[in-house]
Structure 1
Amino acid sequence: MRQEYNKLVRDHMPEIIRKSGIECETVTLSEREYQQALRQKIIEEAQEVATANNADLVIEIADLLEVVDALLKSYGISRNQVRLEKDKKRASKGDFDNKTMLLWVDS
């Protein structure tokens, strides 16, 4: 029975699927399609991080970071650029060390 996926997968997945005796079809995306697929993939991976049990959390975070790395490469963004933006935001708005949850704001 055919199951539709239409999602970005790691490079070796089609080979792994075929070696297990299952047929699959793939297509190579254009750069624009690839960037959009990466944006969708990061949502998928973030949801997996959000729902992971403690034992699987490191695995899911690793998957999320793999997609972040692919996004950086695709858009030509360096880790240093990200680090600088992270530092700017931390300096102006703080980090998450205090575990603060905003409950409400009265406008």
Structure 2
Amino acid sequence: MEYPKLIRDLIPSIIAASGRNCETRILDGPEYVEALREKLVEEACEAKAASATELATELADVLEVIDALLEAHGLQMEQVQQLQAARRSERGGFANRLLLLRIDD
């Protein structure tokens, strides 16, 4: 079976320990960043579909991808958190649980 997707570093060892073989290759910079972006969407979809008991694990996977994206782009989490705080100050957060139903022209 073919799996053209980004995997965690220990997955080949886990596959080998199960008695199976796998083939991998190392992605170059632009390919890696694109694969991380695809992985972020994949993990976000898994978080969306997760049960209440699975949610923390799926969010941990999302954070792992975010950490890798930060590193790949030379960013620091503190930078992103500062931007998050600024956007929250400008636009608010989600504490009020608002659902936009319509905007009249």
Give the TM-score range, shorter chain. Answer: over 0.9
Alpha-carbon separation, structure 2, partners of 1:21 and 1:83:
43
> Which string of whole-angstrom CA distances, capped at 9 and with x for unpartnered residues, describes residues 75-99 of structure 1?
0011111011101100110000000
Alpha-carbon separation, structure 1, partners of 2:100 and 2:90:
17
Alpha-carbon separation, structure 1, partners of 2:8 and 2:73:
18
Equivalent residue for 1:28, pick from 21, 26, 29: 26
- 1:47-86 aligned within 5 A: 47-86=45-84
Alpha-carbon separation, structure 2, partners of 1:83 and 1:53:
27
Alpha-carbon separation, structure 2, partners of 1:87 and 1:63:
23
Sequence identity, in percent? Answer: 45
2:8 equivalent to 1:10: yes
Structure 1 spans left out of the alignment, 5+ residues: none
Q: Which SS does the other structure have where 2:102 is aligned?
A: coil
TM-score by length of 1: 0.96
What count of residue pairs does the alignment treat as equivalent?
Answer: 105
Q: Which SS does the other structure have where 1:33 is aligned?
A: helix
Q: CA deviation at 1:16?
A: 0.7
**Alignment correspondent of 2:87:** 89
**Alignment correspondent of 1:42:** 40
Runs of 4+ displaced beyond 4 Å: none
Q: CA deviation at 1:4?
A: 1.1
Alpha-carbon separation, structure 2, partners of 1:77 and 1:99:
30
RMSD: 0.6
Structure 2 spans left out of the alignment, 5+ residues: none
Alpha-carbon separation, structure 2, partners of 1:67 and 1:50:
16
Alpha-carbon separation, structure 2, partners of 1:66 and 1:6:
19
Alpha-carbon separation, structure 2, partners of 1:106 and 1:14:
54
